[in-house]
Structure 1
Amino acid sequence: MRAWDEPTKRKAHIELIPMIDVMMFLLVFFVLISLNVIPALGMKTQLPSASTAQQLKPQNKSILTLGLNGELQLDGQATSVDALVPALKGLEKPDTKTVIIINSDKGVEVARLVEVMDTLRAGGFTSISIATRKP
């Protein structure tokens, strides 16, 4: 009778290279997200807080951002006070009321805010809101 050698059983082991690949992809993904590689529209502002702030319903809206250094942006695009009303008239859709939301940094002077709001009202826009955040 012939005796066959039994093959020795191999111990289970973890493959390191695929695990390193996955970890590198995760690392790159989280680094890119934390560095804001995909920038948000507009400039960063710190909204003032109000206890009566409420969520807005979806509608035809334009977001106007007032920055600290006299910057003014309409939907993420830099503009001036003089060009504001014609730009909004161009964005206006028939049969819908345009709602303008003013994102103003809390350090912006009230006189500048009033000037922009007065320009909008003179241009025929009456639905103007000031963005705040809940405390």
Structure 2
Amino acid sequence: MRKWEEPENRKARIEIIPMIDVMMFLLVFFVLLSLNVIPALGVKTALPSSSTAEDLQTQNLARITLTASAEMQLEGQAVTAEILVSRLKLLEAKEPKKKLVLLVNADQKVEFQHVIDLMDTLKGKGFEAISFVTKRK
């Protein structure tokens, strides 16, 4: 009579190397995710694209955001047109030697008339350096 050997019952154990790999992937994922969020100041807008976009090299900047629903923000805080001008005058007075450059982040879905109204308001109050933020194609 033949006798077959029964396979040994192996004891289950936790492998540490795959667990370390998973933890490293999670760490890298969260670091990359957090680095991507840094430029978002205020409301996220879908910027229009331009093939002639340039980097602006200046220190005295004020960021104005126009959302698709025609809301306006200055440096991430909601403002109206009247409050916007007074706050810009305060920012300009902080560093009178440097010209205040206004960066307008207008969503691509915002009505063009809102952009023109903003420009008229700013130019009427003496702000000449207005730049529009776009993304490169």
If the length of structure 2 is used for normalisation, what is the TM-score? 0.74
The structural deviation recorded for 1:49 is: 1.5
Gaps of 5+ in 1: 1-14
Q: What is the letter of the counterpart of residue 77 of structure 2?
A: Q
More helix by share: 2
In the TM superposition, what is the alpha-carbon distance from 1:71 to its structure 2 partner?
1.1
Aligned to 2:73: 73
Q: Once the two structures are aligned, what percentage of the paired residues are identical? A: 40
The residue identity in structure 2 corresponding to 1:81 is A
Which residue is 1:126 aligned to? 128
Counterpart position of 2:96: 94
Q: Give the superposition deviation at 1:118.
A: 0.8
Residue 51 of structure 1 deviates from its aligned partner by 1.9
RMSD (Å), alpha carbons: 2.7
Gaps of 5+ in 2: 1-13
Q: Which 4+ stretches in 1 moved above 6 angstroms?
A: none
Please report how far the alpha carbon of residue 103 of structure 1 lies from its aligned counterpart in structure 2 after TM superposition: 0.6
Residues 58 and 19 (structure 1 numbering): CA distance in 2 closer, same or farther, change over 3 Å?
A: farther
Aligned to 2:9: none
Match of 2:106 among 89, 100, 104: 104
Deviations 1:5-53 (A, max 9, x none): xxxxxxxxxx9458736743652562575488x6732111111122221
